[in-house]
A = this chain, B = another copy of it.
Amino acid sequence: MSPIRLAIVGLGKIARDQHIPAIAQTEGISLAAVASRNAAQPGIAHYATLDALLASGEPIDAVALCTPPQVRRAQAQMALEAGKHVLLEKPPGATVSELAPLVAAAQASGKTLFATWHSRFAPAVEPARAFLAEHAPRSVTIEWKEDVRVWHPGQEWIWEAGGLGVFDPAINALSILTRILPRPVFVTGAHLAFPANRDAPVAAEVDLADADGLPIRAELDFLQTGPQTWDIHVETDGGRLTLASGGAKLFHDDAPLIDGNEAEYAGIYRHFVHLIQQGASDVDLAPLALVADAFLIGRRSLVEPFEY
């Protein structure tokens, strides 16, 4: 079977840092084109827009949408209607409701739609899930605190409506949480701090629970300088489990269980190839639905303006 010919749409930081190296090391898929207004990749066919790429007749089988979430829905619909498989960076869209028509379009066209959650491919995630299937969780604390100026330098879209602000990184924690816990969770309260000049929050506290009353607390900050924190602590009836460094490391009562090499995007592309081969889609909206609920139910406060 010849490799899946993939086009990257939106050649920004995440595409260069993660997608291109992962595609290069994944069997069954190869980079065939790039659609990006401001950037190109040496030796790869280049188009300014997805529109232009699709109109060109360039032979591609699939697209990876690495554009900001606010523009992804229209691109995904266009690609599916043109008979292409679609991989969506996280979050899968600017809203939860815009995904249902895309799922229907993928079904109608017989193509794969894959809403990726890269953190779910971190090395500690599946071992943590297995542990929590055996040892009941008693409480969960999420600490997701990073410096937006380091990790999202100059990214204005993240502060615009639909850009999620601090929830852009924190949705990674929620994607892990919803994978490792044995039961579905829901938001019970939230507090969101909006910079006075921005439409997305810079910090938040979110309380969640499951139907058994498991207490879950998430503390999120986008202005953390010094050491960066992407940790999930779970107290269980079998001791304390900690996923650290965004899921790269796993500790049980402070003893290291996993200290893995980060290879999230290689996992994503292996799964994408597998989904296409199976004629299947994979769209889990739970993490984005939790964020929408935090906005819905959250108290708001205004804090000082943010500028890069």
A residues sitting closer than 8 Å to B (CB atoms) are 73, 77, 94-98, 100-101, 104-105, 161-162, 183-190, 194, 199, 210-211, 286, 289-293, 295-300, 302
Contacts and interface: CB of A to CB of B under 8 A. Distances in A.
A187 B187 CA distance: 21
A289 B298 CA distance: 15
Given A101-B186, A299-B199, A300-B300, A293 B161 contact: no
Contact of A95 (B161, B194, B296): B296
Residue among A96, A97, A162 with max Cβ neighbours from chain B (10 Å): A97
A231 B15 CA distance: 46
Main secondary structure of the interface of A (DSSP, over half): mixed
B161 A97 contact: no
A121 to B, nearest CB: 23
A39 to B, nearest CB: 27
Residue among A188, A190, A199 with max Cβ neighbours from chain B (10 Å): A188
A95 B188 CA distance: 8
Nearest to A102: B211
Given A101-B183, A101-B184, A296-B162, A96 B289 contact: yes
B211 A161 contact: no
Contacts of A186: 73, 95, 97-98, 100-101
B184 A289 contact: no
Contacts of A292: 96, 289, 292-293, 295-296
10 contacts: A73-B186, A94-B297, A95-B293, A96-B289, A97-B186, A97-B187, A98-B188, A161-B189, A161-B297, A162-B296
B100 A184 contact: yes
Contacts of A296: 94-96, 162, 291-292, 295-296
Q: 10 smallest A-B Cβ distances: which pairs? A: A97-B186, A95-B293, A98-B186, A101-B211, A292-B292, A295-B295, A292-B296, A162-B297, A295-B296, A161-B299
Contacts of A190: 161
Residue among A162, A291, A296 with max Cβ neighbours from chain B (10 Å): A296
A289 B97 contact: yes
